[in-house]
Amino acid sequence: MSNDFIGLSVPNLKGNELKYVTEAVETEWVSTAGPYVEKFEQAVAEYVHTPMAVSCQNGTSALHISLMLMGVTREDAVIVPTLTFIAAVNPTKYIGAEPIFMDCDDSLCMDPIKLEKFCQTECDFKDGKLIDKKTGRHVKAMVVVHVFGNMADMESIMDIAKKYNIKVVEDATEALGTYYTQGRYKGMYAGTIGDIGAYSFNGNKIITTGGGGMIVSQNEELLKHAKHLTTQAKADVQNFIHDEIGYNYRLTNLAAALGMAQMEVLEDYIQTKAENYNHYKEVIDQIPGLHVQDFREGIRTNHWFYSVVFENDESGRDKLIAALKENNIQSRPIWGLISDQLPYEGARTFELEKAPWYWKRVVNVPCSTNLTSDEVDRVLEVIKKF
């Protein structure tokens, strides 16, 4: 068996990427003006069924703008998950607002039961505002992450958000292509159900533009405002008149050229991800004490990341990662809890139980869209021997 390196989640650029990027270079449209930016925005908006989409430099900047558009200020609090990538939470701090760390459930996404309990027991709801009794802060928004391409329980979360007048920012950076196939939100894509949503096209995401992001919403006015803010808030382009503090967050034509080519193959990638997921799952679920984490029922997931869970023995995590590394296979533990990270020392948390449990027990195994069935077998050989 070959011993070639198998990466965890690497770019796959075998379609029209080079052709479109070459065209961008040859026509010298490489910066934020240029036809591919709008084409890419339209392609994403059509794909997820929103009136428009607003490109950004990355998912982090898309989340930053999203929170600002929800009216979050330095006086407010934002409910965020503790088990996720830190870029889901940092934008709250860019604004100067206070994060409140919430637990996950077995979907690895935000636990709606604890979310409601927090609102009921830790807050007062008066004059249409949810006020954290401990800090006096207005809990104005929450960031809901669709972890690893799973869908958070949006029916429950939207009910709670409505009841307590909390804005919902969907961090769908890992979940482009995931949508409901049943229920109240049947046919709706992750990122388009809450008030506003963000995608990422970082190198490890399901499609990549090198670095890039996108803001979507059902609310076209909000998206127009997003575009204004991401393009330096120009009120009068010709005369350099600006009416707000704007940002230089727009995607470049070079990156958008990659994005257009990647959109053409997104559905193929999702299919490959599903096939490899099922291949892993068939074998690993037979091994006592191990399983591959399921995705929610009633959705079409993009299967972005695969999670192997050590059900009992938490010492297995690091040992498996080391064994895979010896075989030239990249894997990783799930993220360290954000509420345990140095910049968030002393942050407000609420009943964190499942997140620390999963943190000790999850290993993410290779899931690139160019991963072959033989390579999955190579990973499985190491796991079986282990």
59 is an interface residue for ligand PLP by CB under 6 A: yes
Query: Total residues contacting ligand PLP (rule CB under 6 A)?
Result: 14
The yes or no reply on residue 368 touching ligand PLP (CB under 6 A) is no
CA–centroid distance for 30 within its chain: 27
Distance, in Å, from the CA atom of 93 to the CA atom of 73, rounded to the nearest integer, reads 10
Distance between CA atoms of 152 and 319, rounded to whole angstroms? 30
* Interface residue with ligand PLP, options 50, 107, 150, 173 (CB under 6 A): 173
Radius of gyration from C-alpha coordinates of the chain: 21
Does 85 bind ligand PLP (CB under 6 A)? Our answer is yes
Of 72, 30, 65, nearest in space to 233 by CA = 65
276 binds ligand PLP (CB under 6 A): no
Beta strands in 219-283 (DSSP E): 234-236, 241-242
- Interior CA angle at 160 toward 186 and 217, to 5°? 50
Is residue 177 part of the contact set for ligand PLP (CB under 6 A)? no
Closer to ligand PLP by Cβ: residue 112 or 211: 211
Work out how close the CB of 191 gets to ligand PLP at its nearest, in angstroms, rounded to a whole number. Answer: 12
Beta bridge pairs of residue 213 = 56, 200
Contact stretch for ligand PLP (CB under 6 A) within 167-175, 232-240, 354-362, 372-380: 167-175
3-state secondary structure 3-38: CCCECCCCCCCCCCHHHHHHHHHHCCCCCCCCHHHH
Candidates 55, 58, 92, 192; binder of ligand PLP (CB under 6 A) is 58
Q: Give the nearest distance from C-beta 283 to ligand PLP in angstroms.
A: 27
Among 82, 84, 178, 330, binds ligand PLP (CB under 6 A): 84
Asked if residue 150 binds ligand PLP (CB under 6 A), the reply is: no
Dist CA 29 CA 9 (whole Å): 30
Instruction: Among 17, 171, 195, 375, indicate the residue that binds ligand PLP (CB under 6 A).
Output: 171
Q: At 309, phi and psi to the nearest 5?
A: -110, 125
69 vs 145, beta carbon nearer ligand PLP: 145
User: With binding defined as CB under 6 A, does residue 302 bind ligand PLP?
Assistant: no
202 binds ligand PLP (CB under 6 A): yes
252 and 20 in contact (C-beta within 8 Å)? no
* Helix orientation angle between 35-48 and 253-284, rounded to the nearest 10 degrees: 40
Residue choice 213, 259, 316, 366 for contact with ligand PLP (CB under 6 A): 213
The CB-of-335 to ligand PLP minimum distance in angstroms stands at 9
Residue from 72, 78, 139, 145 touching ligand PLP (CB under 6 A): that is 145
DSSP designation for 306? E
Beta carbon of residue 250, minimum distance to ligand PLP (angstroms, whole number) = 14
Q: Which of 88, 109, 223, 383 binds ligand PLP (CB under 6 A)?
A: 88
Sole binder of ligand PLP in the list 6, 79, 87, 139 (CB under 6 A) = 87
How many C-beta atoms surround the C-beta of residue 229 within 10 A? 21
337 sits near ligand PLP (criterion: CB under 6 A): no
In terms of C-beta density within 10 A (0-12 exposed, 13-18 middle, 19 or more buried), how is residue 125 classed?
Answer: middle
9 or 130, CB closer to ligand PLP?
Answer: 9
Confirm if 206 and 191 have CB atoms less than 8 A apart.
no
Q: Give me the residues paired with residue 200 across strands.
A: 213
67 touches ligand PLP by CB under 6 A? no
Chain residues binding ligand PLP by CB under 6 A are 58-60, 84-85, 87-88, 145, 171, 173-174, 200, 202, 213
